[in-house]
Copies of this chain bind each other. A is one copy, B any other.
């Protein structure tokens, strides 16, 4: 019924998609608004009708990225063994990274832009939020596991969660330099050995019911 049949939400999405490609391929600074506009099939000026500045556009991208990542959470932490559930969460994230080729360079780019003094606050806060959420989730899963006697007591849950989560980012870095490497495959092989020590063995089982 609107005179012009233009769906602002849809066009915004198109622009964000184009920006994703361009930022991933060229980096934040090297990417030009011209390139993004061309990739989105709109004129340069149009970008400014949807995002007030280049930085805002990049930040919007980042937010969508963070939202998506955080939606990933909420797994079946109750049904399975806690250690397996944590592994499953990590593998799920890893699979998404392997599947979407722009995620690796784009993640690198987020880190870099966020490291720059001017943008540190905006980006850093948001990224920290995301990290906290994941760390919290992992910690909670492990704590639940401890309550159920699946996970050893006396484990430094916070540092463990940080480290486990870090594994993902660490493999992202290795993936950009070695495009053959599969984050998910690597994790699938390595996690069992790494997490074995967290399971409560026969000796330290709860006195049980």
Binding site for B on A (CB under 8 A): 24-30, 104-105, 108-109, 111-118, 124, 127-128, 131, 152, 155-156, 159-160, 162-163, 165-171, 173-174, 176-178, 181, 185-187, 189-198
Contact = CB atoms under 8 A, between A and B. Distances in A.
B197 A27 contact: no
A79 to B, nearest CB: 23
Contacts of A127: 177
Interface centre among A105, A131, A168, A190 (most CB of B within 10 A): A190
A116 to B, nearest CB: 4
Given A30-B118, A189-B159, A197-B195, A170 B165 contact: yes
Given A163-B194, A167-B163, A197-B197, A177 B112 contact: no
Contacts of A128: 177-178
A176 to B, nearest CB: 5
Nearest to A24: B115
Given A30-B118, A117-B26, A190-B159, A111 B167 contact: no
